[in-house]
């Protein structure tokens, strides 16, 4: 794996590249809230050969720069993802998105369909379905943002997110890594900006019936945040979409079941 930074419009975005170039199309992996490219590490190791794999830290997450006032809406993340593909001379790719990253992938498939060869949505938000706890945390903390210590804000997220892992030991290790960038004053502001930007209106207005990209939807059966019923609604809304519900997996399915996620993406690539 090789990690690098791209300078796009005054912000540095981190990505790592893996896989092997071949006849297959490239694959772009987009994490969700509040994770990073690390979410996909196990999946990448299990992916079939012959594909260039691009794993991005979206703005304000992981090793990428804090937003510092730049928009972190679904559309803004999607436009930056397209700019990353441009910078890497990748015209189109299979786009795999988890959670918020799934909403970003949906936006790309609708607004830049020529750039998205296939679409995989893993425990994705969409339509009018977003985890309600995020809104509650944002509403409670936003009025006090400048007075709330950064570790307290990160701690609120930590406590809420732990339920999303099938393996609590894995969850503790992952959350320590995911939330580290948010444990400073700048990180606190970034975390609150991310929460504030997650609005169901952004996805409720998406005309998913217009998606013509081959689509696979995967969902952890034990997800406490995004119900399986939403995955079924997404599958019904996107023409020809398939749905796999993974027993034993919770919300962070790429960490809970990386081999099964990779196998499902591989099957999508082989369609």
List the single range of 15-24, 105-114, 151-160, 177-186 with lowest mean pLDDT: 151-160
Taking residues 140-165, report their average pLDDT: 68
Q: Which helix (DSSP H) or strand (DSSP E) does residue 165 occupy?
A: none
- Rounded percentage of the chain residues whose pLDDT exceeds 90: 72
Query: Could you tell me which residues come within 8 angstroms of residue 89 by beta carbon, excluding any fewer than 6 positions away?
Result: none
- The beta strand positions in the chain, using DSSP E, are 2-8, 11-19, 27-30, 52-56, 93-98, 116-122, 215-220, 242-246
Taking residues 126-143, report their average pLDDT: 68
- Rounded percentage of the chain residues whose pLDDT exceeds 70: 90
Query: Could you tell me which residues come within 8 angstroms of residue 169 by beta carbon, excluding any fewer than 6 positions away?
Result: none
Per-residue pLDDT band for 182 (boundaries 50, 70, 90) equals confident
Contact 31, 98 (CB under 8 A): yes
Q: What is the pLDDT of residue 66?
A: 95
**Tokens in use for 243?**
């749905």
Per-residue pLDDT band for 154 (boundaries 50, 70, 90) equals low
Pick 154 or 182 by higher pLDDT: 182
End-to-end CA distance of the chain: 27
The DSSP letter of residue 126 is: B
Contact 229, 78 (CB under 8 A): no
Output phi, psi for 265, to 5 deg.
-65, -40
**Closest to 36 measured CA to CA, from 172, 164, 175:** 175
Contact 95, 109 (CB under 8 A): yes
CB atoms within 10 A of CB 31: 28
Q: What is the pLDDT of residue 21?
A: 78
Q: What is the pLDDT of residue 24?
A: 87
Q: Is the pLDDT of residue 185 over 90?
A: no
Q: Which helix (DSSP H) or strand (DSSP E) does residue 163 occupy?
A: none
Contact 53, 17 (CB under 8 A): yes
Taking residues 125-144, report their average pLDDT: 69
212-261 residue pLDDT tens: 999 999 999 999 999 999 999 999 999 999 999 999 999 999 999 999 99
Mean pLDDT of the chain: 91
Taking residues 88-98, report their average pLDDT: 97
Q: What is the pLDDT of residue 145?
A: 54
Please compute, for residue 210, the number of CA atoms within 13 A of its CA located in the half-sphere on the CB side: 11
Strand order in the sheet with 116-122: 2-8, 11-19, 52-56, 27-30, 93-98, 116-122, 215-220, 242-246
Pick 189 or 106 by higher pLDDT: 106
- All structural domains of the chain, each given as residue ranges with its CATH number in brackets, are 2-129+202-269 (3.40.50.1820)
């Amino acid at each position: 794996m090789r990690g690098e930074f791209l300078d796009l419009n005054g912000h540095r975005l981190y990505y790592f590249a893996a896989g092997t170039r071949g006849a297959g199309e490239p694959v772009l992996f987009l994490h969700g809230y509040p994770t990073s490219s690390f979410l996909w590490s196990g999946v990448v190791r299990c992916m079939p050969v012959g594909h260039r794999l691009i794993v991005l830290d979206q703005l304000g997450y992981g090793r990428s720069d804090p937003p510092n006032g730049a928009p972190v809406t679904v559309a803004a993340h999607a436009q930056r993802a397209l700019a990353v593909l441009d910078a890497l001379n990748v015209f189109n790719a299979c786009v795999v998105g988890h959670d918020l990253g799934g909403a970003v992938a949906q936006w790309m498939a609708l607004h830049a369909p020529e750039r998205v060869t296939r679409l995989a949505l893993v425990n994705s938000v969409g339509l009018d379905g977003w985890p309600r706890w995020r809104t509650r945390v944002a509403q409670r903390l936003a009025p006090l943002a400048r007075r709330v210590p950064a570790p307290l804000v990160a701690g609120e997220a930590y406590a809420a997110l732990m339920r999303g892992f099938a393996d609590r030991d894995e969850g503790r290790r992952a959350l320590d890594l995911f939330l580290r960038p948010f444990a400073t004053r700048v990180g606190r502001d970034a975390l609150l900006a991310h929460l504030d930007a997650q609005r169901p209106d952004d996805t409720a207005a998406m005309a998913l019936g217009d998606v013509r990209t081959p689509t696979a939807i995967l969902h952890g059966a034990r997800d406490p945040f995004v119900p399986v019923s939403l995955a079924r609604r997404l599958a019904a809304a996107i023409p020809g979409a398939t749905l796999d519900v993974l027993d034993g997996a919770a919300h962070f399915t790429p960490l809970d079941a990386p081999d099964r996620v990779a196998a499902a993406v591989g099957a999508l690539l082989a369609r």
